[in-house]
Structure 1
Amino acid sequence: MPVYLLLRMMIDPATGNKRAAFVAASAADASILAERKYKPNTKIRAELKQPRNSKFNGLVHGLGKVLTQNIERFSHLDSHGAVKALQLESGVCCDLQEYELPNVGTIVCKIPQSLSYDSMPEEQFQQFWAACCEYLIATDWPTLTHERLTEMAEFEGFKVAA
């Protein structure tokens, strides 16, 4: 389970010098750290990632709702499935994997990348969002703009969160 930390300026009790130090971001994070029984001055190995703006999480869920409610080919899917289907269809943020099949040859499969906070930096997510909007405008909604699609997804994302 990830723990969220804040980088704060602190006075190091060992030296009296001002230093940057990571501290638990919330009481819940402090509790998780306490449960892990880390002791003071223990060296801990960590992989640190900056979380994406939580607004974008709602945006993706909102986009999924917009797709399922307004485009027939996505109507049978849940929000998550619709976004993954859009990724596959458009090729946006997909990896290509080649497979050699006997008597067939090489086939190439698209594999959608994870959009989770920990898997995709915010800049890459913004590129994903722009490319998805461009694709939907080109294939389904030529009268809409990137801004209007974003508004629609934000509205649906707000309804999901409420």
Structure 2
Amino acid sequence: MLLKTDKGLRGATPADHEAWSKFRRRLETMKPGTWIRMEWARPRHGKHHRKFFALLQLVAENSETYDTVEKALVAIKLVTGYCDPVIHPETGELLPVPRSISYDSMEQDEFDKFYSAAIDGVLRHILPHLDRDTADRLLEMIVTGWA
């Protein structure tokens, strides 16, 4: 991951900076006419992303139905409606298929809306015994534990 600074691009971590330095040196030594392909994305706010994964952990630890992070993720996507409709080939029934929330498929502003809907959906339908203040406090404890 790279960070734009006044002095140019720098790695966000020492490992990222080392990888960037190696890549930059390789670019400088490439022969003219060499083809390369690059992909880039603007990452989401890291703390916000960690807070969402804390929400998944909170659900997994407090739900018998959605007792893994993977199940919690699917449940949250379903409860928020972050899905595409697909017709079942045998029954013709319309089924919701959860969409990706990867960095490449969702910008920060869309993630903000998704997170807001996710926390609301969790408190209304998945963990209705939790109030917002308690959930926020637990999420902050989980995130802090990851720091």
CA separation of 1:67 and 1:110: change in aligned 2, threshold 3 A: same
Distance 1:110 1:81 in 2: 15
1:38 to 27, 32, 46: 27
Q: Which structure 2 segments of 5+ residues have no match?
A: none
Percent of aligned pairs with the same amino acid: 21
Q: Which structure 1 segments of 5+ residues have no match?
A: 11-21
2:137 matches 1:151: yes
Structure with greater proportional helix content: 2
2:112 to 126, 135, 154: 126
Structure 1 equivalent of residue 70 of structure 2: 80
Q: Contact 2:83–2:98 at 8 Å: present in 1 too?
A: yes
CA separation of 1:56 and 1:142: change in aligned 2, threshold 3 A: same
Structure with greater proportional strand content: 1
CA separation of 1:92 and 1:51: change in aligned 2, threshold 3 A: same
SS at match of 2:128: coil
- The Cα RMSD (Å) is 3.0
2:83 to 94, 97, 110: 94
TM-score (norm 2): 0.72
Q: What is the aligned residue count?
A: 139
Whichever residue aligns with residue 129 of structure 1, its letter is Y
SS at match of 1:48: coil
SS at match of 1:141: coil
Larger Rg: 1
Structure 2 equivalent of residue 13 of structure 1: none
